[in-house]
Structure 1
């Protein structure tokens, strides 16, 4: 009872602090919110159980590799932000156009990813929990997003972003407190679990490739140019990635040694069953965080995809005319495959975009730095071609 109260109190304190004027009014903090919201959005809910089941005690190492990959690709994007004032060559301009199209495609898949998680969490604590009802909810929400976009209702929905990020960070703070207390009790009782990885090195690397979408989102800082200058966006991305990395590493390190990996029960809402053991208050809080985070992320990515397609076609296709096609793709993915395959598809799509960003950074750099970005582009290409999905129940 005391732990439940402490978790709730800490979450409430973090939520209140997020709305303090001196913090909310800072331009760098406001700029940081968009990439931070994307990085620790859906990935936080599903990544823990995947890494715990597939990697066992090696889960923190896998998380560190994912965060390092995100940081390196972020460095490429930051280099490209810094080079925005430099006149583009014809080659750079063409690659940038292709990169934007790749990002639009990645957003299309990520919308299906976000709203499939929304559907799964929406029914997870109800008597109707199951794949069919989750997919029905997902399809309905895809329709809501399509209607909102076509009718011009995105602006009001996008204003929810700060509130959803505040709620998400508050609940994550409570979750980490619960895990820390539970971890401490297990450690005192010498009951921590040290399981080996279920995968060989090659398959483990390919699975990490297929999970890059869970740490993506930092690239959104590049497209805030209408609101913030380049130095602010670069700093915002850097700090968002550092904070997200700290949160992820603490979370995975605590989680990895608390439960016996159970591949038969690995699904998109596995974190709910895990947290029931930690503290009874956590499942409901996590569902609330999931619903808010997934819907706002889906709205943001649908809007982003529509805008990028309109820009790529030089206005020939208006964003609102792209939305129904984007949502139809999401419906097709929802009913033809499972969340783990969608995650893998989304990871490959984002890896393709990051490959192009690394190529752009290489073309706009010199010497060893250019060589490093070319090497990073090769890694991105490998992620695009070789990433595999986790095996769910």
Structure 2
């Protein structure tokens, strides 16, 4: 490959990285700190490391299926059982995407309400989320989402910029506290190890997004998508672990401020001038992620059956998302969405096991599938 070809290949990887990275960072940074605070306190960074490590292992499943399963399917070489598993996975990811749409827009509403109307009635958050779902569904039916592809790029740039600035502010605060001798760490909550593992399993959604490379086959070849998946996971892991590390000393747990419900709580205490940019970033990233998952659910539904045509996929997924957003608390939606994605990843792991060679590799995928089934069945919301 000449230098021009290598440059084009690198550019394809960079551009392809935007979609999974935007999806991974979409809601994760907004919810992972308060969840880990309530679960692990001073040990929060170890939770972030564990979550990112599990995400990387799951990522190997998706990358195997891009490189191995897709060509086999294209050549008509997959057996009927594996094809059926693929259909079940496609149906499962639709459910996961619908739940995640409700989650994204509840998070968006939570940040808007907490910033602009902190004493608002309880129904305002679900109302805003439901209106946003209806708006997205109407947009999809009337115009489609073409022309909104750049929203992902704007969203990921905004999130990365805000994360860098907020992380730097938190690091400076931590350093100043350390020099002044008043650096304190939050207490470690009293939870048994099994409960901690189940709560950590309930926030798999925070690192979800690397599987989106499965649906970029019309734009990028398999090698570019696999590399993009790896790059997105590496970048997001560094961001998550580093951000949680600098945020831990300023957690409200164990102080008069109390446990934080959102990242906005920490930001308001430490850098109130960043509160509005954080809210704007939350609105942009969550709305963008909700549009992406609505479009993905629509595409998968149409692929499942000819019955899903015209506006039906939008109306069905929209109605389900509204029902969830209107009735289920945010942290519960986090756990339910994590369960749905864990179920999808478990099926993909079984597919990888069936299409891989060697006892060690097959055993790895089998064990990972069992772990994901356990998360799908038993994951808990943060209390």
Deviations 1:133-163 (A, max 9, x none): 2222111111101101111331133332211
**1:70 to 2:55 alignment:** yes
Corresponding residue number in structure 2 for 1:91:
81
Tell me if structure 1 keeps the 8 A contact 2:349–2:368.
yes
**What aligned pairs does 1:268-307 form with structure 2 within 5 A after superposition?**
268=261, 270-307=262-299
- Match for residue 64 of structure 2 among 79, 84, 105: 79
Tell me if structure 2 keeps the 8 A contact 1:60–1:249.
yes
**What aligned pairs does 1:1-393 form with structure 2 within 5 A after superposition?**
26-83=11-68, 84-86=70-72, 87-127=77-117, 129-130=119-120, 131-194=122-185, 195-261=187-253, 266=259, 268=261, 270-313=262-305, 315-318=306-309, 320-367=311-358, 368-391=360-383
Counterparts of 1:301 and 1:267 in 2: how far apart (Å)? 28
1:154 is paired with a residue whose SS is: coil
Counterparts of 2:21 and 2:124 in 1: how far apart (Å)? 31
Counterparts of 1:364 and 1:383 in 2: how far apart (Å)? 23
Query: Mean alpha-carbon deviation: is it higher for 275-284 or for 218-227?
Result: 275-284
2:190 is paired with a residue whose SS is: coil
Query: What count of residue pairs does the alignment treat as equivalent?
Result: 367
TM-score by length of 1: 0.89
Q: 1:276 to 1:330 in 2, by over 3 A?
A: same
Tell me if structure 2 keeps the 8 A contact 1:36–1:240.
yes
Tell me if structure 2 keeps the 8 A contact 1:209–1:387.
yes
Deviations 1:307-349 (A, max 9, x none): 1011011x33126311112111122112222001111110000
Tell me if structure 2 keeps the 8 A contact 1:307–1:319.
no
Aligned-pair CA distance for 1:262: 5.5
Aligned-pair CA distance for 1:128: 5.7
Corresponding residue number in structure 2 for 1:4:
none
1:198 is paired with a residue whose SS is: coil
Aligned-pair CA distance for 1:265: 5.2
Q: 1:261 to 1:374 in 2, by over 3 A?
A: same
Counterparts of 1:136 and 1:266 in 2: how far apart (Å)? 25
Aligned-pair CA distance for 1:359: 0.5
Counterparts of 1:153 and 1:325 in 2: how far apart (Å)? 16
Q: 1:275 to 1:300 in 2, by over 3 A?
A: same
Q: 1:120 to 1:260 in 2, by over 3 A?
A: closer
Tell me if structure 1 keeps the 8 A contact 2:331–2:382.
yes
Tell me if structure 1 keeps the 8 A contact 2:339–2:375.
yes
Tell me if structure 1 keeps the 8 A contact 2:18–2:156.
yes
Deviations 1:266-311 (A, max 9, x none): 565x321211222222111110110000000000001100110110
| Structure 1: gaps of 5 or more residues | 1-21
Deviations 1:218-265 (A, max 9, x none): 000111000000000000000100000000000111111223416995
Counterparts of 2:310 and 2:95 in 1: how far apart (Å)? 14
Corresponding residue number in structure 2 for 1:12:
none
User: What stretches of structure 1 move > 3 A for 4+ residues in a row?
Assistant: 127-130, 262-268
Counterparts of 1:108 and 1:222 in 2: how far apart (Å)? 18
